A and B are shown apart, each in its own frame.
Chain A
Amino acid sequence: MDNFQKKFLEEASDLINQLEQALLTLEQDTQNPELVDSIFRIMHSLKGGGGMFGFDNISSYTHKLENMYDLVRQKKLKVTREMLDITFESADHITSMLNDDGTKSNEIKRNEEILNRRIDAILDGDNFSDTSFGPAESLEQTVSGVKSYYVKVKPYEHIQRNGTNPFFLIDELVGLGKHKVNIFYSNIPDFENFVLDDSYLWWEIILSTDKDEDAIKDVFIFVEDDCEIVIQRISESDIFEMPKVAPLLDCRQDFPFDLDKIKAICQEEAVKEKEKSEAENSENKAKVNSGDEHIKKFTKESSISGIRVASEKIDDLMNLVSELITTQAGLNLYAEKNKDAELTRITENLENISRQLRDTAFSITLIPIDYLVVRFRRLVRDLSREVGKEIEFEARGAETELDKTLIEGISEPLMHILRNSIDHGIESAAERMAAGKTPSGKIILQAYYSGSQVVIAVTDDGAGMDPKKIKRKAIEKGLIAADSQLSDKEAIDLIFMPGFSTSEKVTNISGRGVGMDVVKRKVSDIRGTVQVSSSLGEGTTITIKLPLTLSIIDGMLVRIADVDYIIPLSVIDTIFAVEHEKIVSAFQNVINIEGSQYPFYYLRDEFGLTDSAPAKEEIIMVKYEDRKIGIVVDNITGEYQAVLKPLGKLYRNQDIFSGASILGDGTVALVLDTHKVINQFTKYNEL
């Protein structure tokens, strides 16, 4: 799939997110014109983008919805329950068209027919009303980001000597948008002085385009030294839409554009526009009352999509910051080795700045959990209707921010947990009343920082979990022995075992066999932990803890054979030098160091390396549960601040490595998870 399609898919899914948010808010406040505008704009964008990037089906489908909301804007249609339902379902429909790989086409077509019929019913129907709605903004100008420029292109005479054709430059430039081109023959010398291959023509162009200034500069990238180029922004909107300027844009041979006059008129127009929209805004403000909080939330949503659009640039930035930190770490090592006072001072300064840069860059990639809350609200709304239960959903601490990758990684597990709560946790209204509870159940999502972690807890006031039932089920499924003694807490933890499913009947929603073991795996994939606590009859709380800074690890760079490894400083207790002889002669992998016995793992053996080991090696004592275990490596290079990069799905089974890091010289070092190393090799050694 090409890059443009990918970009459109990202933008489209963002738009759908915004759409759902707007719909949820509109449900509470059906008179709100700004929300209707936003929905209209979203349909418009989907229609346009769909047509451009090969999603004609989306383009044609959203056309009707765009019409529908346009009529609402014009106060010719009222917002109804049916309209909202159709739009919600349309959001899903569009999402499935975006994800369609061709296999679901028939289902999608059928779905679309039904939806279209319902939309037609509204469009043709008796829903028209003249009730005044409040002023609607005219959108066309605000949607387009068209700006106008003056460009002067005056090639130097010799430009054609390197094969450049100046006409191609003009051709490429005018392809960017609407234009007026003025050619100048004034430089053509008289016949005697005319050199055949020289270039004498030059041009002035007035251009209006929605591409940014870089795109214009890019046209001239090869000819910077061969051409005089002037690029000036003359208006923040489309100059070709300003009737007043039109006469000034007429081209007369060898007569330059009156740039000052043109700019003056553009200024006038700009001021007029501003006054007009300010007047409209203050009118609107008077009419819009407590929709304020929703709108605040809503505009925050748009500002998140602003981060999204720039997300490739953010990735580039983060990569560069990582490389900077890597290089700076290398410089640190060098400074230490060379014991140069001045150099050390400078490197410390640099380290300080790098740290700050890293922290700032990081905060750019942090996104509040609120971004996901829309999805959750939607899920609770739809699902609770489907199962016929009344459920209230509250999010607290939604402004808590998480790394972009964590947000993506935590979304699915949280959806599972919510599904479970709704499906199995919260009881039906009747059951609840019989138990003396309020008929509607409540699910609370809480997010907050705790130390260096982010905690996300989902609490429901449902039926809770029965340790006895769980134990029985586990025995039935052969997951534990019939006579195992388990505390209530241990029993409840059994739900994390693979192959476990507590529901009596497999329902449609959570019934795809997705259990808490999958949630646990997905959470640990992003280096988090999940716990459950429950009280029978009262409710259940699932707590997820995630590390705040996923990516950067303070570690010790070590070497074994020809590969570098990194061990996180947080697990290192002490390091001892040790003779190779002592390692190989140790009995049952236990070594005596300064009077105490320690078990150890000789990574050369465990990794199956056959080349000859150095005579002197290093043993790193790492903390493992409440003990110290030795890890033997060839030698220690030094402390290293590593930017963690994933090894990727292909290395999923090699979980003794939390990832990799790119060193200053470009080679790849592997980051060791000593906990998993010890677990894995203990298993093998016990066989």
Chain B
Amino acid sequence: MEQETNSYISFMLGDEYFAINVGKVLNILQLVQITKVPTAPDYMKGVINLRGTVLPIIDIRMKFGMEPIQYKRDTVILVLNVEIANEVVNAGILVDSVKEVFELQQDEILPPPGIGSKYKSKFIDGVRKMSDERFVMLLNIDTVFSTDELVMLQDSTETKEAQEAEKHE
């Protein structure tokens, strides 16, 4: 029986590993000067010149409610092909580093942890366990871009519980 295999490219935001389906990634760019567009939300870092077209750049860490990204040597821009409201849009996201490209069979994708765990499944297609016991979260980048507000990866009520639980450990 044929299995669907998909390739993902993984990257780090802070301490967490995320991955996006390689079909959505157009390009990986070194960091260049970003022109900030005033009056836009903070997580919209600005625009850059990509070979004559204007490409918006998002600080996806801020969109996830993390601290704003600090530019380091490994910081790169992932240029993505995103679908928002039936329109295809190109946008770049800033990531702390790109890790690797791996292949996943359909049956290797674990469902995103449900209630009681940290992450909201609308933005996470699934999860994969890596060789070192860590988890990589497979991002549904289209949904992430389709929300104008901050993406609450974590359910606010459950965050509190999770925090409480951690305290007691």
Q: Which residues of A contact B (CB under 8 A)?
A: 319, 322-323, 563-564, 603, 606-609, 645-651, 653-654, 656-657, 659-660, 662, 666-670, 680
Contacts and interface: CB of A to CB of B under 8 A. Distances in A.
B6 interface: no
A668 B47 contact: yes
B84 A647 contact: no
Given A649-B87, A657-B37, A667-B35, 6 more contacts: A607-B39, A647-B56, A650-B89, A651-B44, A654-B39, A660-B47
Given A660-B47, A668-B47, A651 B52 contact: no
Nearest to A608: B38
Given A657-B37, A668-B35, A650 B44 contact: yes
- The SS class assigned to the B binding surface is strand
Interface string B98-142: 000000000000000000000000000000000000000000000
A319 B49 CA distance: 12
Contacts of A667: 33, 35, 49
A671 B27 CA distance: 27
Contacts of B49: 662, 666-668
B150 to A, nearest CB: 15
A668 B48 contact: yes
23 contacts: A563-B35, A563-B38, A564-B35, A606-B38, A647-B47, A647-B56, A648-B54, A649-B84, A650-B44, A650-B84, A650-B89, A650-B91, A651-B47, A654-B38, A657-B37, A660-B47, A660-B54, A662-B52, A668-B47, A668-B48, A668-B49, A668-B54, A680-B39
Name the residue among A609, A667, A668 with the largest chain B CB count within 10 angstroms: A668
B53 interface: yes
A662 B91 CA distance: 17
Nearest to B32: A666
Interface of B: 33, 35-40, 44, 47-49, 52-56, 58, 84, 87, 89-91, 145
A240 to B, nearest CB: 40
A466 to B, nearest CB: 35
A670 B56 contact: no
Given A563-B35, A651-B40, A319 B47 contact: no
B56 A650 contact: yes
Contact of B56 (A607, A608, A651, A680): A651
B37 A646 contact: no
Nearest to B47: A668
Contacts of B47: 647, 651, 660, 668
Nearest to A649: B89
A660 B145 CA distance: 22
A609 B36 CA distance: 11
Nearest to B82: A650
Contacts of A651: 37, 40, 44, 47, 56
B57 to A, nearest CB: 10
B33 to A, nearest CB: 6
Given A563-B35, A667-B35, A654 B52 contact: no
B54 A654 contact: no
A350 to B, nearest CB: 21
Contacts of A662: 49, 52, 54
A319 B48 CA distance: 16
B140 to A, nearest CB: 16
